[in-house]
Amino acid sequence: MSIISVRNISKAYNKGKTVALQDVSFNVEPGEIFGIIGPDGSGKTSLFRILTTLILADSGSAVVDGYDVVKDYKCIRQHIGYMPGRFSLYQDMTVEENLSFFATVFNTSIEENYHLIEDIYRQIEPFKKRKAGKLSGGMKQKLALSCALIHAPHVLFLDEPTTGVDPVSRKEFWEMLQKLKRNFHLSIVVSTPYMDEATQCDCIALIQNGRFLTIDSPQGIIDDYTETLWAVRSDRMHKLLTDLRDIKGIKSAFAFGEEHHVTVDASVITMEALTQVLQEEGHQDIHVEKVKPSIEDCFMNLQKG
């Protein structure tokens, strides 16, 4: 049975004028990392707040760990851990005081569930007498995760835990989540604006303007990509982008790191023809090759629809 089941959730603010979520439905299976991926303002936080029983949906229903988010909100709160996007700890309390406070609120103790947080907490334990407000960003994140775990929740909700975090620390954070999943079979719902983190999840939902564009495994989403996608390079990358957009048969052209990715109508233009047109435009060192889409390519393709 699914550990989370969401049916037709909608939510609007401002007397219905600002739509946050529109008819969102999905399931999360036990022991799964479920990623909700989309830009700021797409409705991610509203969804988290509904599932963690902090706000009510306008319509639809949701069941978390067997409990209804409206009727059984008190039960849900005992069985979930929630790490909001903004730093949620008491800045004036020490590391140890914060952790012990969260443990006490849930009628447990640090000792009782230490095994759950050991890997993560050990890294900040040398600073346990330091005030939370004086910790570095990476350490704050580890403390917040420890506090969200200390009552041995069944489901962990992490709202944008890696936003504004550098790539090295992001990688470390995902390694911690993978371990929690592996060692404790924890179900984790996590949101992120970084498309490259999608492959860390078992299942992902791409969200835009309060709607899910698709829900599937990362590989499933990539397999569903129907466009013909080429990577193009030349000696003049800025000019290349504008030139590409003017060529017949090129449906879209966007920068992708050291290449430009173009979607093409293969019945109109071939790679050889494209190379020739670009040569005529004065480009040199032209490389054109067919590439597999990334999740970001998929998102961009679904986004325009």
Partner 1 sequence: MTDKIVIKAEGLTKQFGDFVATDHVSFEVREGEIFGFLGANGAGKTTAMRMLCGLSQPSDGKASVAGYDVAREHEQVKRHIGYMSQKFSLYDDLTVEENLKLFGGIYGMTPAKVKEKMADLLQELGFASERRTMVKSLPLGWKQKLAFSLAIFHDPKIVFLDEPTGGVDPVTRRQFWELIYRASDRGITVFVTTHYMDEAEYCDRVSIMVDGKIEALDTPANLKQMFGVSTMYDVFYTLARKAKRGDG
Question: How far is 234 from 284, CA to CA, in rounded Å?
Answer: 6
* Residue numbers 26-45 binding partner 1 by CB under 8 A: 38-42
Q: Which segment (66-74, 88-96, 134-142, 281-289) binds partner 1 by CB under 8 A?
A: 134-142
Give the shortest CB-137-to-partner 1 separation in angstroms: 4
Find out whether 58 and 11 touch, Cβ atoms under 8 Å.
yes
Closer to partner 1 by Cβ: residue 185 or 287:
287
What SS3 state is found at 225? coil
* Residue numbers 135-174 binding partner 1 by CB under 8 A: 136-139, 163-169, 171
Give the shortest CB-194-to-partner 1 separation in angstroms: 8
Task: Convert residues 221-260 into a mask of x (bound to partner 1 by CB under 8 A) and - (unbound).
Answer: -----------------x--x------------xxxxx--
Question: How far is 305 from 295, CA to CA, in rounded Å?
Answer: 16
Task: Convert residues 84-123 into a mask of x (bound to partner 1 by CB under 8 A) and - (unbound).
Answer: ----------------------------------------
Query: Is 296 a residue that touches partner 1 (CB under 8 A)?
Result: yes
Give the shortest CB-169-to-partner 1 separation in angstroms: 6
**Beta strands per DSSP E along 16-161:** 18-28, 33-37, 59-64, 67-68, 80-83, 155-158
Closer to partner 1 by Cβ: residue 23 or 235:
235
| Exposure b/e, 139-149, CB count within 10 A at least 16 = b | bbbbbbbbbbb
Contacts for 203 with CB less than 8 Å, ≥ 6 apart: 28, 29, 32, 33, 34, 35, 215, 216, 217
Helices (H), 37-136: 44-51, 73-79, 95-105, 114-121
Closer to partner 1 by Cβ: residue 76 or 298:
298
- Tell which one of 34, 48, 102, 299 touches partner 1 (CB under 8 A): 299
* Residue numbers 196-215 binding partner 1 by CB under 8 A: 208
Query: Is 71 a residue that touches partner 1 (CB under 8 A)?
Result: no
Give the shortest CB-107-to-partner 1 separation in angstroms: 33
Helix %, strand %, coil % for the chain, to 5?
35, 30, 35
Find out whether 26 and 195 touch, Cβ atoms under 8 Å.
no
Which parts of this chain interact with partner 1 (CB under 8 A)? 38-42, 136-139, 163-169, 171, 193-195, 208, 238, 241, 254-258, 296, 299-300, 303-304
